């Protein structure tokens, strides 16, 4: 086929030219019988309009679901591939067959990835599918049903702000003659506070706090899915209105293990070490008028050295000494955190050889297929016994092999080099810095689950969203109230993975040092942009833009698809390898879908890429956050200290929001008109049934 095709070939309604090179093969490995059925279905699919295709595939899925048994591996593969195809077409992937009659798919037009309305529409499919589940419908109906609490009748809408009261506050502010009066009126009209979501009930309405949070979370465009690991949920409420309505919701969850933009910023990557060995310079860009060119200008970049040669050599020698010592310390600490029981002797740990490293790799390989049907251990845990299970014996063997090999390489290079600078340069060039990366990863692993958290939910709830409540929620997630609650909650929590690796109870340091998050849209996030709060001494608490990412995700795949894949993979493996238990790895759902696509002969690299660039933000909570996370210091110097005055400091953040965002919003937008158009009933989730 030529490198171009018309949209007629791909089932579109116009003859606009489409680049065939965008398309990728979508050829599953099915047996002859199911492959024949699949080809007939997809051939018929091409003759239909776009809006007909999803229903056509749904009809076939329902038909075959009633015929195929759970034990029929090939049948489950067939159902899985039909369901995957349906989900991709739902996200407007393009489809055609080439000259060899092979099915080809291409992602949606990439420019659409920058369109908010398009992304919301794509996310709505899975989000709305949740409302078809009986359990979720029952929950929503229960929350919306009128009930009595302390002698008054109410339902969930009584936790939605009164837009008329909010409008009244705004009108009073507008009548004020000076800024001091405006701030005073704003402080009496809106009184935000942070409420930790625990097992208790709301004193104003009687609803469980978690039920309140969950209800409002379902109102968002992106589907709601629970995440494993550490999770803390928050409500931001307004004490100025009856029942203290919800202004916004937020949640903190575990960070992803590897995120290049974040890791470069902190200094957890080989590139950050390479950059530290370069001479420090300052680059300035400006326009220069060209002589004799009728005023034409060109962009010029000026580079100024910030250190002379002597200063530069002294600095990199000093930093090389520190870096080598840190790398060895990271390796030794990580090795000491893994019990060698049934794997190595103490002498082999202290004096590793390449022979014992190879033995560890052989052990890991032999246990690869013996980690089926993992289950959480009930009751009191015997950590030594847990360390000896196939799953954790394999993990220990893999980690010890990597760590000991890196330690051995660094030792040998130090023996042959005259100084640490020469050794560091050789390590960087040796196998692309593999040993350095292993040491850096060892430190990162010890910090990532304890000292960093991700803002996984953050936003305002109508009608407060019109008053930039999203900004307020973003600011309050950095508050000392939140930091203190995190530190206290996890200061005594046993780390289950680390304890299983060490064979004894391990409690990690849990000082919260850094928050990360990503925007849903590439064009930016209105609630994170330009948040920079002065905290004294010329320092600021700030959402820093760290870069952009175009990653992989499973959010666009329906729950039904996940169930089909899970059954299929379980039948193929003879048991469940992915059981959502500690130690198996991060993102169980994503790993499951990757495994399923692989079993079907489909490239996960092609079909799990969501083609949506997102902005990565980072929020250091202390002046020495990066030094702490790099292992250079042990105590954090918080911008807002945990000195017993956390509520007062948090109140100062709320005051900043009122003055910097809320009052300026009143000046720039006709909030009265917007609030008058708000109808509480529009918040009812039953509207989606």
pLDDT tens sequence across 318-347? 999 999 999 999 999 999 999 999 999 999
The answer to whether position 503 is within a domain reads yes
* 198 SS3 class: coil
Q: Give the pLDDT of residue 659.
A: 95
Q: Give the pLDDT of residue 471.
A: 95
Q: In the numeric block, which tokens belong to residue 121? A: 């529409």
**Residues 6+ away with beta carbon under 8 Å from 435:** 327, 405, 406, 409, 410, 427
The answer to whether position 462 is within a domain reads yes
Side-chain half-sphere exposure of 525, counting CA atoms within 13 A: 22
**Residues 6+ away with beta carbon under 8 Å from 132:** none
Same domain flag for 346 and 473: no
User: Measuring CA to CA, how many Å separate 11 from each of 15, 18, 57, 94, 607?
Assistant: 10, 11, 15, 8, 20
Nearest one of 262, 396, 414 to 327, comparing CA atoms: 414
Q: In the numeric block, which tokens belong to residue 200? A: 């208790």
Instruction: Look up the domain containing 275 and give its range.
Output: 268-280+307-448
Same domain flag for 147 and 243: yes
Same domain flag for 423 and 440: yes
Same domain flag for 518 and 652: yes
For the entire predicted model, the pTM comes to 0.79
Same domain flag for 327 and 363: yes
Distance CA 150, CA 131 (A): 31
CA dihedral 258, 264, 270, 273 (to 10 degrees): -150
Same domain flag for 439 and 507: no
Same domain flag for 159 and 242: yes
* Domain final residue pick, 561, 583, 607: 607
The answer to whether position 117 is within a domain reads no
Q: What is the pLDDT of residues 302-316, one digit of tens each?
A: 889 999 999 999 999
Same domain flag for 424 and 531: no
Place of tokens 């000491």: 336
The answer to whether position 439 is within a domain reads yes
Q: Give the pLDDT of residue 116.
A: 58
The answer to whether position 181 is within a domain reads yes
Q: Give the pLDDT of residue 379.
A: 63
Same domain flag for 421 and 523: no
Sign (positive or negative) of CA dihedral 656, 457, 516, 446: positive
* 19 SS3 class: strand
Q: Give the pLDDT of residue 94.
A: 87
Which value, in Å, is the radius of gyration of the alpha carbons in the chain? Answer: 29
Q: Give the pLDDT of residue 161.
A: 97
* Domain final residue pick, 607, 628, 653: 607
The answer to whether position 643 is within a domain reads yes
Q: Give the pLDDT of residue 614.
A: 77
CA dihedral 553, 559, 564, 567 (to 10 degrees): 90
Q: Give the pLDDT of residue 11.
A: 44
The answer to whether position 289 is within a domain reads no
Q: DSSP assignment, residue 564? A: H
Q: Give the pLDDT of residue 234.
A: 98
* Domain final residue pick, 448, 463, 497: 448
Same domain flag for 76 and 103: yes
How many domains does the chain divide into?
3
What do you get for the CA distance between the two ends of the chain, in Å?
Answer: 45
Q: Give the pLDDT of residue 21.
A: 76
* List of the chain residues with pLDDT < 70: 1-20, 109-126, 228, 292-294, 369-379, 520-525, 550-556, 574-589, 609-613
Q: Give the pLDDT of residue 585.
A: 41
Same domain flag for 140 and 163: yes
User: Measuring CA to CA, how many Å separate 539 from each of 508, 534, 570, 640, 656?
Assistant: 29, 6, 53, 11, 15
The answer to whether position 668 is within a domain reads yes
CA angle 460, 213, 158 (to 5 degrees): 80
**Residues 6+ away with beta carbon under 8 Å from 147:** 153, 154, 155, 206
Q: Give the pLDDT of residue 407.
A: 95
Distance CA 344, CA 560 (A): 45
* 146 SS3 class: coil
Q: Check: CB of residue 248 under 8 Å from CB of residue 464.
A: yes
Same domain flag for 332 and 436: yes
Q: Give the pLDDT of residue 514.
A: 98
């Amino acid at each position: 086929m030529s490198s171009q095709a018309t949209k007629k070939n791909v089932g579109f309604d116009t003859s606009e030219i489409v680049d065939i090179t965008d398309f990728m093969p979508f050829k599953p490995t099915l047996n002859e019988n199911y492959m024949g059925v699949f080809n007939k279905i997809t051939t018929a699919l091409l003759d239909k309009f776009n809006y007909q295709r999803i229903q056509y595939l749904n009809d076939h899925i329902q038909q075959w679901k009633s015929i195929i048994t759970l034990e029929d591996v090939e049948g489950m593969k067939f159902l899985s591939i039909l369901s995957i195809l349906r989900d991709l077409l739902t996200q407007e992937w393009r489809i055609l067959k080439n000259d060899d009659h092979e099915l080809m798919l291409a992602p949606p037009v990439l420019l659409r990835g920058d369109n908010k309305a398009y992304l919301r529409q794509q996310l709505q499919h899975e989000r709305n599918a949740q409302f078809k589940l009986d359990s979720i419908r029952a929950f929503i109906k229960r929350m919306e049903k009128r009930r009595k609490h302390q002698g008054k009748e109410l339902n969930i809408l009584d936790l939605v702000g009164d837009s008329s009261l909010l409008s009244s506050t705004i009108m009073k502010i507008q009548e004020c003659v000076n800024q001091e009066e405006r701030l005073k009126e704003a402080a009496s009209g809106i009184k935000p506070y942070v409420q930790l979501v625990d097992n208790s009930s709301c004193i104003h309405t009687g609803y469980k706090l978690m039920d309140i949070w969950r209800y409002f979370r379902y109102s968002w465009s992106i589907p709601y899915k629970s995440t494993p690991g550490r999770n803390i949920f928050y409500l931001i409420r307004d004490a100025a209105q009856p029942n203290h309505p919800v202004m916004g919701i937020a949640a903190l969850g575990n960070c992803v293990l590897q995120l290049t933009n974040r890791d470069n910023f902190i200094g957890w990557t080989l590139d950050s070490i390479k950059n530290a060995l370069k001479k420090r310079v300052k680059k300035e860009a400006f326009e220069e008028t060209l002589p004799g060119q009728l005023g034409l200008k060109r962009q010029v970049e000026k580079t100024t050295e910030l250190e002379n040669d002597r200063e530069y050599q002294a600095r990199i020698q000093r930093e090389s000494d520190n870096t080598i010592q840190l790398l060895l310390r990271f390796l030794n600490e990580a090795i000491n955190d893994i019990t060698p029981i049934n794997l190595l002797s103490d002498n082999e740990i202290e004096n590793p050889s390449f022979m014992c490293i190879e033995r560890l790799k052989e052990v890991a390989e032999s246990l690869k297929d013996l980690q089926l049907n993992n289950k959480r251990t009930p009751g009191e845990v015997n950590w030594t016994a847990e360390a000896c299970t196939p799953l954790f014996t394999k993990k220990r063997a893999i980690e010890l092999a990597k760590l000991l090999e890196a330690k051995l390489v660094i030792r040998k290079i130090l023996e042959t080099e005259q100084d640490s600078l020469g050794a560091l340069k050789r390590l960087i060039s040796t196998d692309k810095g593999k040993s350095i990366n292993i040491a850096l990863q060892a430190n990162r692993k010890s910090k990532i689950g304890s000292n960093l958290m991700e803002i996984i939910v953050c936003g305002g709830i109508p009608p407060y969203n019109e008053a930039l409540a999203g900004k307020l929620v973003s600011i309050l997630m950095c508050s000392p109230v939140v930091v203190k609650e995190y530190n206290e909650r996890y200061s005594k929590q046993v780390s289950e993975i680390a304890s299983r690796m060490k064979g004894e109870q391990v409690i990690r340091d849990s000082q919260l040092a850094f928050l990360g998050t990503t925007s849903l849209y590439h064009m930016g996030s209105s609630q994170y942009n330009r948040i920079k709060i002065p905290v004294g001494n010329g320092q600021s608490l700030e959402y820093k833009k760290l870069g952009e990412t175009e990653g992989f995700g499973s959010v666009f795949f329906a729950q039904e698809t996940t169930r089909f894949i899970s059954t299929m993979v379980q039948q193929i493996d003879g048991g469940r390898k992915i059981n959502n238990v500690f130690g198996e790895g991060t993102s169980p759902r994503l790993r499951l879908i990757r495994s399923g696509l692989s079993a079907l002969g489909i490239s996960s690299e092609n079909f799990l890429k969501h083609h949506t660039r997102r902005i990565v933000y980072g929020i250091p909570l202390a002046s020495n956050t990066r030094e702490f996370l790099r292992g250079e210091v042990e105590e954090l110097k918080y911008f807002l200290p945990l000195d017993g005055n956390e509520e007062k400091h948090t109140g100062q953040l709320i005051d900043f929001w009122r003055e910097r965002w809320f009052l300026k919003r009143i000046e720039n937008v006709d909030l009265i008109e917007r609030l008058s158009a708000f109808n509480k009933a529009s918040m009812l989730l039953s509207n989606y049934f």
